[in-house]
Amino acid sequence: KGQVFNTSLVRALELDFMLDCAETIALGAVTRTESRGAHFRTDCLNRDDDHWLKHILIHHRPDGPPQLDFLPVRITRWEPEVRVY
């Protein structure tokens, strides 16, 4: 415990938020069955625009597991293309 702030409580809350973020990232990565940009899977080596040109939205609910939704990508100026690293 700190003299001004309850640092133990702050650390516990921050850990809880970090675990929420980690769960969200992992769930999105496991759901997306393709490799795209910096997201690379050894079991799915190629892009799949037909199925995965969309955003994954993950909503955390207090009464159950996270809920997944999908939002189509709106292409405005540049067509998506394969990145070469």
- In the predicted structure, residue 79 carries a pLDDT above the cut 80: yes
Q: Who contacts 78 (Cβ-Cβ below 8 Å, separation ≥6)? A: none
- In the predicted structure, residue 2 carries a pLDDT above the cut 60: no
- In the predicted structure, residue 11 carries a pLDDT above the cut 80: yes
d(CA 25, CA 23) in angstroms, rounded, equals 6
Share of the chain above pLDDT 70, in %: 95
Region 9-19: mean pLDDT is 94
Angle in degrees, CA 35, 42, 54, rounded to 5:
20
d(CA 75, CA 65) in angstroms, rounded, equals 31
Confidence (pTM): 0.77
Share of the chain above pLDDT 90, in %: 74
The CA distances from residue 35 to 2, 20, 29, 52, 76, in Å, are 45, 23, 10, 10, 23
